[in-house]
Amino acid sequence: MAGASDKARFYLEQAVPQLQEFKEKKIFDHDEIRNLVKKRSDFEHKILGRGSQPIDFARYAAWEISLEKLRQKRCKRLRIKGSSAHTGQARTFQIFDRGTKKHPGDVALWMSYLEYTRQEKATKKFKSVLTSAIRLHPTKSELWLYAARWALESEADMNGARSYMQRGTRFCTQSRDLWIEYAKLEMIYLAKIAMRRRILGLDVDESVEALENTEATKDEGFATSADVIAIPDFNTNTLRPSMIKGVKVDSEAAKDPMTTPALNGAIPLAIFDAARKQPFFCPAAAEDFFDLFASFNQVRCLPKILQHVLDSMMESYPRDPCTCSCYIRQPVLGIEPDSPDFPIAIGSTLDRLKETTATVKDKVELSKKIKVWFERILSFEDLDPGIQTVVGHTLRRLE
């Protein structure tokens, strides 16, 4: 069996044609070529040794990527044509292939490999690597989410993204986040259809108000897309409205919402009902679903969805602080603070607060939740002075 030195020599010899090109076209001088050969030799011996780690392959690949970028800059500055970019890319692919074969259980290395192939726009290679990664790690929710994001951003394929999420939730029964991301994907899609209907004039009566409300949220730290979908940008590693920009929804938007179950929230509700049967489901998970749905003010079927979630929570966890918090906040959701309906909604909220305080099993936890929510209400500009007084007084009582 060949030793580590013999294997290192074998892989280094494969790079000789590339080094000859560097020398002939004067992309790198003699000393630079000697230094990069030494660097490669060090990396090869490191990854071929017994104690090699996944990070060693990642560092080797990162070095090759930086070398390729330097080669491209040199060729551009020196106006050298005909220099092959394929060789550098192929070497990086080979390093990642060797790394994932030696350390197949390291998801971070697979993710680095996927991201590199995506950035290089090597679609065929990306699909091959993605398939291998998912087959090895079907219970890793981050891989399914990454696949869904890629289907949306690169392929503008809503059905493909939905398929990845469906398959992911079948395997990842312990991952609350993936189930919530799947529900978010469907809500983003419904919001895009709703905005498209307004643009097409199918919901003319609401178009002006919707656009005004969206513009108002831009200064509140909300993320928007080309079709003016505004929802909280939860964090950078989740699905966002901008990812669905390329997805065409005209055919769906033209359908009658009254006769199309999908446009009436049937899919998000089905996801929530399926999530209730999973091991991770609890009052906090139900509240996460409730808060997610509540952030999509553009969806016309939002009241129906929220009521369904709340009914389920009242049935399973009637005295839990999470249930009581959702019940208290429900009347105000979807109503702008400057709306004439807002004072009436706040009154209903205060009535529900008094009602639940007597029955909730953990008053302290409920007070914490409602306090945070009231503070958000008080942060709105141009809030009616009377409402400020009432909410401020209630907040002090909670404290």
Instruction: State the DSSP H helix or E strand holding residue 222, giving kind and residue range, or none if neither.
Output: strand 222-223
CA angle 46, 51, 55 (to 5 degrees): 65
pLDDT digits (tens, 9 = 90+) for 371-398: 999 998 988 888 888 998 998 888 888 8
Largest CA distance in the chain: 84
- CA dist 269 and 357 (Å) reads 29
Here the contacts of 38-47 (C-beta below 8 Å, separation 24 or greater) are: 39/63, 40/12, 40/15, 41/8, 41/12, 44/7, 44/8, 44/11, 44/12, 45/4, 45/5, 45/8, 47/95, 47/98, 47/99, 47/102
pLDDT digits (tens, 9 = 90+) for 95-148: 999 999 999 999 999 999 999 999 999 999 999 999 999 999 999 999 999 999
Tell me how far CA of residue 163 lies from CA of 77, 148, 183, 186, 248, in angstroms: 46, 8, 13, 12, 17
- CA dist 330 and 326 (Å) reads 6
pLDDT digits (tens, 9 = 90+) for 286-298: 999 999 999 998 8
At residue 204 the predicted structure's pLDDT band, cuts being 50, 70 and 90, is low
Q: Domain map of the chain by residue range?
A: 103-137, 141-276
User: Which DSSP string corresponds to 73-117?
Assistant: HHHHHHT--S--SHHHHHHHHHHHHHHHHH-TT-HHHHHHHHHHH
pLDDT at 119: 92
pLDDT at 214 over 50: no
What values do phi and psi take at 227, rounded to 5?
-95, 20
